[in-house]
Amino acid sequence: MKNIDSYTHTRGESIYLDDIPVVAGTLYGACFDSPVAHGKLISIETAEAAKCEGVFRILTYKDITGENQIGGIIPDEPLFADHHVHFCGMPIALVLADSDEHARAALHKIKVNIEPLPVITDPREAAAKGELIIPPRKFKIGEVDTAWAGCEYIFEGQADTNGQEHLYIETQGAYTIPQENGVIRVYSSTQGPTAVQRAVSKTTGLPMHQIEVDVTRLGGGFGGKEDQANTWAALCALATHVTKRPVKYSLHRMDDMRMTGKRHPYSSDFKIGLDKDLKIIAYEATFYQNAGAAADLSPAVMERTLFHCTNSYFIPNVTATAFCCRTHLPPNTAFRGFGGPQGMFVIEAAIAKAADELGIDATVIQQNNLLVTGNELPYGQKVVSEANECWNEAMARFEFEKTTKAVETFNASNKLYKKGVAIMPICFGISFTNTLMNQSRALVHVYTDGSVVVSTAAIEMGQGVNTKILQVVAQTFSISPEKVRVNSTNTYRIANTSPTAASAAADLNGKATLIACETILGRIKTVAAAELKVDESAIELKDEFVYANGTKTEWDWKKIVLTTYNKRVSLSEHSHYSTPDIHFDKTKEKGHPFAYHVYGTAIVTATIDCLRGTYEFDSVNLIHDFGTTMNKIIDKGQIEGGLVQGIGWMTLEEVVYDKNGKLRSNALSTYKVPDIYSVPKEINIGFLQTQKDNLAIFRSKAVGEPPLMYGIGAFFALRNAIKNFNPEAKTEFNAPMTPERVLMNLYAKKLVTV
């Protein structure tokens, strides 16, 4: 089934925040944000700006009616800077005017006096100065300290990954409209409607029931709107609360890039030990996470780095330590993979380093250490699937030996172009690592004409979750998809929502939907059984007809629905689902945090131009563990999109802050995202269909984040290609591998005559 949004998307009829018809009297917001990364805020002068054309009012921290606080996990983030500024882009004042242009024009007249303080942008420097947002965390299995003695080979090194701009096509924004009795309706481009509701409640001082958050869809979120949509919603809602006027704020691209956090850059140290059979015996990793100026979701992101620090490998002795480092960058936040990719990059780097030193292919070490059923991960959960299922299938289906032979032949006969291959296996845990968030609710109404509407907490942001929810309804009732409508996500219909994140939205909300539909279906069957005078167990609904004892009756869906209503039996249900069997004890750093794991293996082949340092990806051939996919088109789209986004992170995308904490890559002219030319020339996706994981909705495994991590293979494929040109290059594990870096490495310590 096609994505249900594809029709309105292609016609340009889909409604995003900025498409909502504007109500008369709407004020437009624009933020004056800190030009300094760290300093004492001595004064804010708004008098001149207030005189500008169309300006209605200017708000600062003094106008906050509740608490000046929007921190989600830790209360460490003011909405408006009050006495200090902590990052360039921190909101200081909000101009409200009769148009977007007038609001923005007035910003130029605002003056601030800031006494600069020292700026830290480097996480290691922050850690050295004790600037930690939470105490360090340590995951441990076995005894690393004694394990080194049993190792034949030990290697150490450093591995760094940079940030990544989310670049959702729809920028951040909110539109708030006053209702009667002081209620505020908040339209927000958010992945977390309840997070927005809480932030608005806290900053305005209104109870949560005074705040209705409504989301139709997002033009992409990628984690960037899990927490960071709160700011704009809180600003608009505060303005509405104070002025009693509708307030709209839809960020321009450069404002969005400057003022919002990104994927966390990490700097990490590793030490890896192998025995003579190339089994990894010991692994030690230390992660320095660049959290930015406030906690945001950093502690949770850091936790997932630890969860995925051994990727798809079984290592009996592991100590992994992570530091959540406070710097003066905009608070970094969730981004597809949620810290997992940063952890996986380091173990892959450690394996590559070992392979370099031993003069063998990394694939030999990778293959030799893949997880098998029963292996225990450093956090205590045992795996129930085989990581090598995908690996073996990928090797066989895509004839890996042939690929490497072809690459060798190519490299032997080409001087100016070199190819490299790398394999990237993945193992990604599904569930929120914060166990309590693994709950969901659904509201299903069947109307008397047989049409159905469903509401859940799921946010549609291009990943197709609404289509999957609709499929659950249509399949459970056995009715045509046309009879089902998925409603906007609304905190008055579904309360206390978990954000659409952790790739878990289809599972959590799909399962809740299933429960609601099955409950209603049970009632309908009871009525049908009474009408047809048969036992309830003999009743079945199939293709919009009632079947009794396997025989089609003349009772169609519409008739039985109307009869159920006439009998005064409820055709509505509000259901609750919570993932069973998951737990995690933070005091021991052990438990069973994930409902299941998603596996996969990608083979990435790259060609570099050795004169220019530019490159192309010839192919990505991958086998992905879908469980039993409920929607092949959507799942394939998630793989392709995730993969290309991962390749972008690892290769082209370079977030640059200068030493004063100012974002230099602040526009699409200075920040390169993948375009159609950066997409691999061939992407082949093999579906590994497994039956095991029944905690996935219809056994169709979560697919949103895992494929991003295939992109890590791109880094190592390029690195291998460089090695083929310049065997002396000691290419650092420092992503992104931009063409400039490729060029530097091609000629590192070597003068080549061609």
Task: Supply the residues annotated as catalytic.
Answer: 705
Among residues 480, 485, 475, the alpha carbon closest in space to that of 447 is found at: 485
Can residue 500 be called a binding residue for ligand MTE (CB under 6 A)? Answer: yes
Instruction: Using CB positions, name the residue nearest to ligand MOS.
Output: 223
CA distance 698 to 469: 11
* Binding piece for ligand MOS, criterion CB under 6 A, among 158-166, 330-338, 535-543, 736-744: 330-338
461 binds, among ligand MOS, ligand MTE, none (CB under 5 to 8 A by kind): ligand MTE
Which residue of 185, 241, 336, 636 would you call a contact of ligand MOS, by CB under 6 A? 336
CB of 63 to ligand MTE, least distance (A): 33
Show the site string, 181-200: x = touches ligand MOS by CB under 6 A, - = not: ----------x---------
Nearest 5°: the CA angle 224, 229, 231 is 125
Binders of ligand MTE among 198-227, rule CB under 6 A? 220-223
Q: How many residues bind ligand MTE (CB under 6 A)?
A: 21
Q: CA-to-CA distance for 397 and 10, rounded, in angstroms?
A: 35
For ligand MOS, the closer of residues 223 and 646 by Cβ is 223
Helix axes 387-397, 400-413, angle to 10 degrees: 60
* Site mask for ligand MTE (CB under 6 A), range 639-658, x = bound: --x-----------------
**In whole angstroms, what is the distance from residue 78 CA to residue 67 CA?**
9
Q: Rounded distance, CA 744 to CA 726, Å?
A: 11
Backbone phi and psi for residue 317, each to the nearest 5 degrees, phi listed first: -125, 110
Q: Minimum CB separation from ligand MTE for residue 188, in Å? A: 15
Decide if residue 505 touches ligand MTE (CB under 6 A): yes
Residue 621 CB, nearest approach to ligand MOS (Å): 26
The letter for the amino acid at 210 is Q
Q: How far is the CB of 450 from ligand MOS (least distance, A)?
A: 36
Question: Rule CB under 6 A: is residue 501 a binding residue for ligand MOS?
Answer: yes
Among 334, 371, 517, 663, binds ligand MOS (CB under 6 A): 334
Separation CA 327–CA 133 (nearest Å):
10
Q: Binding of ligand MOS at residue 292 (CB under 6 A)?
A: no
Q: What is the smallest separation between the CB atom of 335 and ligand MOS, expressed in angstroms?
A: 5
Nearer of residues 322 and 702 to ligand MTE, judged by Cβ: 702
Q: Return the range that interacts with ligand MTE (CB under 6 A); candidates 31-39, 459-467, 538-546, 647-655.
A: 459-467
Question: Sign (positive/negative) of CA torsion 202, 578, 141, 153?
Answer: negative
| Cβ nearer to ligand MTE, comparing 164 with 321 | 164
Residues 6+ apart with CB under 8 A from 503: 428, 430, 598, 702, 703, 704, 705, 706
Closest CA to 33 of 70, 67, 77, 80: 80
Integer distance in angstroms from the first to the last C-alpha of the chain?
54
3-state DSSP helix/strand/coil percent for the chain, to nearest 5? 35, 25, 40
Which residues pair with residue 41 across a beta bridge?
114
Q: How far is the CB of 263 from ligand MOS (least distance, A)?
A: 9
According to CB under 6 A, which residues from 299 to 338 bind ligand MTE? 336
Q: Applying CB under 6 A, does 502 fall inside the site for ligand MOS?
A: yes
Supply the DSSP symbol for 313: B
Taking phi over 0 as left and psi of -120 to 50 as alpha, with beta for the rest, 376 belongs to beta
Which tokens is 690 given?
């497994």
CB-based contacts of 598: which residues, under 8 Å, 6+ apart? Answer: 426, 427, 428, 430, 503, 624, 625, 701, 702, 703, 706
223 touches ligand MOS by CB under 6 A:
yes
From the number of C-beta atoms within 10 Å of its C-beta (0-12, 13-18, 19+), residue 364 rates as middle
Least Cβ distance, residue 506 to ligand MOS (angstroms) = 13
Q: Which is nearer to ligand MTE, 506 or 737 (CB)?
A: 506
With contacts defined by CB under 6 A, name the span among 110-118, 145-153, 374-382, 456-464 that binds ligand MTE.
456-464
Measured between alpha carbons, how far is 534 from 554 in angstroms, rounded to an integer? Answer: 15
With CB cut-offs between 5 and 8 Å by kind, which of ligand MTE, ligand MOS, none does residue 477 bind? none
- The CB-of-506 to ligand MTE minimum distance in angstroms stands at 5
If the CB atoms of residues 304 and 445 are measured against ligand MTE, the closer one turns out to be 304
Point out which residues bind ligand MOS (CB under 6 A).
Answer: 191, 223, 226, 334-336, 338, 501-502, 705
Q: What is the contact surface with ligand MTE in residues (CB under 6 A)?
A: 220-223, 336, 461-463, 465, 500-506, 638, 641, 702, 704-705
